[in-house]
Amino acid sequence: MYNLQDTIAAFSSPAAPDAVYHIIRISGPSAFEIINSLSPNPPKFAHARLTKTHLTIDHELSVDVTLYPFRSPNSYTGDDLIEIHLLAPICIADALLKNIFLASARPAQPGEFTARAYFAGKLDLAQAQAVAQLITATNSIQLRAAHLLLKGALQSKLDFLLTDLLDLISLIEASLDFSEEDIEFISPESLTSRLQSLESTLNALLTNSLPARRLLALPSVAIAGPSNAGKSSLFNTLLARPRAIVSDSLATTRDVLTEILKLDSTEIALFDSAGLAPQPATVIDRLADSAARDAIASADLVLYCVDASDPQICAPLALFNSINPRACIFLATKSDLPAAAANLPALNAAFSADFLPISSATGQNLSALKSKIASALAIAPETTAAQLITLTNTQNLALNAAADHLTQALEAAASDNRPVTSMLLHAIYRTLADITTPREFDEAILSRIFSRFCIGK
């Protein structure tokens, strides 16, 4: 699968054609030697954490870089690791990476840096999967769920279960080994009580893990449109609370706000973002517009809002033509205002779409909007985050298998069949321990897990 003795290298930052800031990561036994071979004045890494130097591109050109060295075993991968940070066109960064390959490194495979962290014991399997979820997260909800997993939240909860299981197994085994002695290591009543306590703890873990899995699979819905089209009012009305600032002033919303909205049949991650602008005037306006467009691009469904009381529809139409949503519901907002009804036919004709008239002030058609959202998402394409949940579902299957064994163990204990009870508890322990630290794992399975990562991660 992976040769852990190789030195590997790859871009750790997106290698976009217009990018000027790049990060190249090198990990392996030859990492420091490779840097020294490319530097006219080899840096001294013994004590420095951050080193500025320049590396050779060809006999006429070198590039200034900042090096972040990490000596084994105190690195992400457990190997010697260096990150090269440079400001340069992509062609220069590409040339530097090619020189690193010529100097004995090989291109890293997808997920190979994190795979090395796993094999070095830096991460358990659940944490490695959390890295993939962090990379592909498209909203703050997914980031929080992945961050909890990366912090080892699952492992810490499993540790309590495993400790109790070991203690209980030892007491049952002792009672079997000394069955002819007049010693009661654990009474039938105490055994049943402790098994029930384990069952409650396991069920609580299953219940509490559902939100994290659900959040990663939530379909995302973005509210979009020009400034002052009633987007934030709609956001607040759907949530039934004042989450976003509402004002008659233009460009009140700057950042992307994310909340969970419960519908009758599902839940969604709902986004409110800045109004789209044809030509943002300031740096802040450009950042807000860029964040809004990123949210729209990643959303499964867009609610495109146009002020129905405004007869000027050219600007909203031009803005809509500048985005490319996967799926869209057109909303004629502020439909309680006098001019709205008269403008609606022209709006439908201009967009060649059927706008749903809504009003955050009166609640007009909000129930119909929720139904349309649920209907549209039923045929929406799967998101990358939803596909990643397969790994977490594997953990969920293991937890459910352990819960089934525990139910059987309670039945065996009720009939005082301690050998079977012990056997089932051993099976539960192995199942739970394998969730984050498998005893044996087929290489094909590990390859499949890490192949879902980006190259350079």
The DSSP H or E segment spanning 415 is: none
Residue 386 pLDDT class (50, 70, 90 cuts):
very low
- In this predicted model, which residue has the larger pLDDT, 57 or 252? 57
* Of residues 401, 426, 421, the one with CA closest to residue 191: 421
CA-to-CA dists, residue 277 to 180, 246, 272, 292, 350, angstroms: 84, 18, 15, 10, 19
Q: What is the mean pLDDT of residues 135-163?
A: 63
Task: Please give the pLDDT value at position 29.
Answer: 92
Q: Tell me the CATH number for domain 136-215+385-436.
A: 1.20.120.430
| pTM for the whole structure | 0.47
Higher pLDDT, 49 or 340: 340
Tokens encoding 23: 């990060």
Interval 262-320: pLDDT, tens: 777 667 888 888 788 777 757 777 777 777 888 888 788 899 998 988 888 777 888 88
Distance in angstroms (rounded) separating the CA atoms of residues 4 and 116: 7
- Contact between 327 and 302 under an 8 Å Cβ cutoff? The reply is yes
| Contact present, 97 and 65 (Cβ < 8 Å) | no
**Predicted local distance difference test score (pLDDT) of residue 380:** 39
Q: How far is it, in rounded angstroms, from Cα 304 to Cα 350?
A: 14
Residue 433's nearest CA partner among 169, 195, 177, 193 is 169
What percentage of the chain has pLDDT greater than the value 70?
Answer: 75
Residue 452 class from Cβ within 10 Å (0-12 exposed, 13-18 middle, 19+ buried)? middle
pLDDT of residue 261: 82
Instruction: Report the pLDDT averaged over residues 187-198.
Output: 89
Q: What are the residue boundaries of the structural domains of the chain, listed by start?
A: 8-122, 136-215+385-436, 220-377
In whole numbers, what is the pLDDT of the chain averaged over residues? 78
Per-residue pLDDT, 254: 47
CA–CA separation, 94 vs 83, rounded Å?
A: 15
Question: Does position 126 have pLDDT exceeding 90, yes or no?
Answer: no
Q: What is the pLDDT of residue 216?
A: 52
> Rounded to an integer, what distance in angstroms lies between the CA atom of residue 112 and that of residue 185?
49
For the cut 80, the answer to whether the pLDDT of residue 247 exceeds it is no
Does residue 391 carry a pLDDT above 70? no
Average of per-residue pLDDT across 332-358: 88
pLDDT at 401 over 80: yes
Residue 161, C-beta contacts closer than 8 angstroms, at least 6 positions apart: 198, 201, 202, 205, 432
Task: Among 1-15, 123-137, 228-242, 246-260, name the one with the lowest average pLDDT.
Answer: 246-260
199 or 43, which is more confident: 199
220-224: strand order across its sheet: 257-262, 267-272, 220-224, 301-307, 328-333, 356-357
Q: For the domain 220-377, what is the CATH superfamily, name and number?
A: P-loop containing nucleotide triphosphate hydrolases (3.40.50.300)
Instruction: Please tell me whether the peptide bond between 73 and the residue prior to it is cis, using omega within 30 degrees of 0.
Output: yes
Q: Considering only 152-156, 168-172, 341-345, 398-402, which range has the smallest mean pLDDT?
A: 152-156
* pLDDT band at residue 392 using 50, 70 and 90 as cut-offs: low
Q: Which pLDDT score, from 0 to 100, does residue 8 have?
A: 92
Helix (H, G, I), strand (E, B) or coil at 9: strand
What is the pLDDT at residue 206?
A: 72
What does the pLDDT look like over 49-90, one tens digit per residue?
A: 788 888 988 888 889 999 989 888 888 888 999 999 999 888
Q: What count of residues does the chain have? A: 457
CATH tag for 8-122 (out of 3.40.50.300, 3.40.50.1000, 3.30.1360.120, 3.40.50.970): 3.30.1360.120
Tokens 């809002």 sit at which residue?
A: 305
Total H helices, total E strands in the chain: 15, 12
Residue 257 clears pLDDT 90, i.e. is over it: no
Residue 102's pLDDT is what? 92
pLDDT at residue 98 is higher than 90: yes
Q: Which tokens go with 129?
A: 């999967």
pLDDT value of residue 95 = 92
